[in-house]
Amino acid sequence: DGNYSMNLKVNDTRLSKEFAVAANGISVGESKLRFDPYFNYDENVLKLSYLNFDGENFNLNIYDENGLVYETKLGKDFSISSGYDLSRLNSGKYRIVMSSFNNEFTYSLNK
């Protein structure tokens, strides 16, 4: 007996379904279809977009090999879309982390 969640991920698309098992049977909830954020880095500009179906409060952190370089709040709007000029950052490897309480998405780039 208990509550369970099934998650299926194919590329950037996720499907999740919650279900409960009890002595009297299994009850299945509705399916949730979600898409990972889109990241693109071109000509020193990092662009990201995300459809925030669940209204989660997201933050964005940028890390280099030594640690945190930049952080900002993205908010909890349904459509999150931002661009960042990274021309002032030194050459090197960077890890972009977009996170909420329930989700974390990462993107790596070489500058």
CB 51 within 8 A of CB 58: no
Summarize pLDDT for 12-68 with one digit per residue, the tens: 999 999 999 999 999 998 899 999 999 999 999 999 999 999 999 999 999 999 999
Per-residue confidence (pLDDT) for residue 61, from 0 to 100: 98
pTM: 0.82
Summarize pLDDT for 57-73 with one digit per residue, the tens: 999 999 999 999 999 99
Is residue 78 very low, low, confident or very high in pLDDT (cuts 50, 70, 90)?
Answer: very high
